[in-house]
């Protein structure tokens, strides 16, 4: 089975957030870039599914020239092919991104190399739109399962496990299908030296966007004003224990 997994280059959110001067984007220059935790798990799932079924996992990104770094990383983590739609992502809203992914899927299908499954993260760590995967499914006329932790493929059916509000849900969708992934079902592997060397040799399919983007409807980004610290230090080390238990009693949690 051939699996396409979609990733997005995003600023690393383990550090402080700064905005660009025009307040249109998060300035990642000083913090470094990564992909969302959900997408790390989607890449792992794609690699495992392709391995188990004798197929190929292809990683796709829509992003600037630098996003090739995220593609090479995924190639080092078990993906065998990569597609780069080079574009200024700030001009692309979630509907635009879904349409571009659909264009790649349809073209590969037309060329006789269709994807049985498309995996995406449930939501991107930066824009948090919660909709690209679902819009993609509609653009392709395929079923979609949202928020899966684990996916299995057998007999032309994708079986996905979702943590629902009432318990563990098992979903079934006929292939070809779209599944969006949440972190926590699989442990992403660490890249090996051999994997990194092999990743460097893969020829990345370079593309331009197929459509003029409609845009994100973003007016501007804002940072919530930093609230002045009002922390009350109860003490240092073990000596603070009585003050802590006093606080528990005051809050009525003991």
Partner 1 sequence: MILLYLETDEAGIAETSLETVALARSLAEAGGGIAIRAVLFGGLPEGVAGQLAAHGVDEVFHVTGAGFEAFSGAAWASALQALRERTGSVVVAAGGSPRGNEVLAHLAARLDVPMAANVVSFAGLAPFVVTRQVVGGAALEEMRLDQRPALFTVAGHSWTARAAVTPGKAEWHEEAPEVAPGDLAARIVSVGQREAVRPGALKRARVVVGAGRGAGGPDGFDGVVELAELLGGALGVSRVVTSLGWRPHHEQVGQTGSRISPELYIPCGISGAIQHWAGCSSSKTILAINTDPEAPMVTKADYAVIGDMHEVVPAIVEELRRRSGA
Structure tokens at 245: 């238990």
Residue 152 makes contact with partner 1 by CB under 8 A = no
Count of positions on this chain that bind partner 1 (CB under 8 A): 84
Minimum CB distance to partner 1 smaller for 83 or for 102: 102
CB neighbour class for 253 (10 Å; exposed up to 12, middle 13-18, buried from 19): exposed
Which one of 7-15, 42-50, 107-115, 194-202 is the stretch in contact with partner 1 (CB under 8 A)? Answer: 7-15
Site for partner 1 in 45-74 (CB under 8 A): none
- If one asks whether residue 217 binds partner 1 (CB under 8 A), the answer comes out as yes
The piece of 67-75, 84-92, 100-108, 213-221 that touches partner 1 (CB under 8 A) is: 213-221
Contact 2, 50 (CB under 8 A): yes
| Contact positions with partner 1 (CB under 8 A) in 25-44 | 26, 36-38
Dihedral sign for Cα 174, 180, 184, 186, please.
Answer: positive
CB of 198 or CB of 244, closer to partner 1 = 244
Strands 33-34 and 167-174: unpaired
Within a 10 A sphere around the Cβ of 154, how many other Cβ atoms? 11
Binding residues for partner 1 restricted to 162-201, rule: CB under 8 A: 163-174, 177, 182-185, 187
Q: Which is nearer to partner 1, 106 or 207 (CB)?
A: 106
Q: What is the rounded end-to-end Cα distance, in angstroms, of the chain?
A: 55
Instruction: Please state, in angstroms and rounded to a whole number, the distance separating the CA atoms of residues 183 and 41.
Output: 6
What is the phi/psi pair of residue 173, to 5°?
-145, 135
Tokens of 78: 């078990």
Contact 111, 10 (CB under 8 A): no
Closer of 82 and 136 to partner 1 (Cβ): 136
Provide the β-strand partners of residue 28: none
Q: Which stretch binds partner 1 (CB under 8 A): 16-24, 42-50, 84-92, 200-208?
A: 16-24
Longest Cα–Cα distance in the chain? 71
Site for partner 1 in 228-247 (CB under 8 A): 229-245, 247
Q: Find the binding residues for partner 1 in span 85-144 (CB under 8 A).
A: 93-95, 98, 123, 125-131, 134-135, 137-139, 143-144
CB of 202 to partner 1, least distance (A): 26
Considering only the stretches 58-66, 101-109, 195-203, 226-234, report the one whose residues sit in contact with partner 1 under the rule CB under 8 A.
Answer: 226-234
């Amino acid at each position: 089975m051939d699996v396409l997994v979609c990733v997005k280059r995003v600023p690393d959110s383990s550090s402080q957030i700064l905005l660009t001067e025009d307040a249109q984007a998060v300035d990642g220059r000083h913090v470094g870039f990564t992909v969302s935790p959900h997408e790390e798990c989607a890449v792992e799932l794609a690699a495992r599914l392709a391995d188990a079924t004798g197929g190929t996992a292809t990683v796709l990104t829509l992003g600037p020239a630098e996003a090739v770094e995220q593609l090479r990383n995924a190639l080092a983590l078990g993906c065998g092919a990569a597609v780069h739609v080079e574009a200024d992502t700030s001009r692309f809203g979630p509907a635009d991104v879904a349409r571009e992914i659909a264009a790649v899927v349809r073209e590969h299908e037309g060329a006789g190399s269709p994807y049985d499954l498309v995996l995406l993260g449930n939501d991107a760590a930066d824009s948090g739109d919660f909709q690209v995967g679902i819009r993609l499914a509609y653009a392709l006329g395929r079923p979609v399962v949202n928020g899966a932790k684990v996916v299995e493929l057998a007999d032309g059916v994708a079986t996905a496990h979702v943590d629902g509000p009432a318990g563990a849900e098992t979903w079934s969708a006929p292939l070809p299908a779209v599944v969006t992934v949440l972190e926590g079902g699989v442990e992403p592997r660490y890249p090996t030296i051999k994997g990194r060397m092999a990743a460097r040799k893969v020829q990345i399919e370079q593309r331009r966007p197929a459509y003029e983007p409609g845009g994100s409807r973003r007016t501007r980004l804002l940072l919530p004003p930093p609230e002045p610290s009002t922390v009350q230090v109860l003490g240092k080390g073990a000596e603070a224990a009585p003050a802590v238990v006093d606080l528990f009693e005051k809050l009525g949690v003991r």
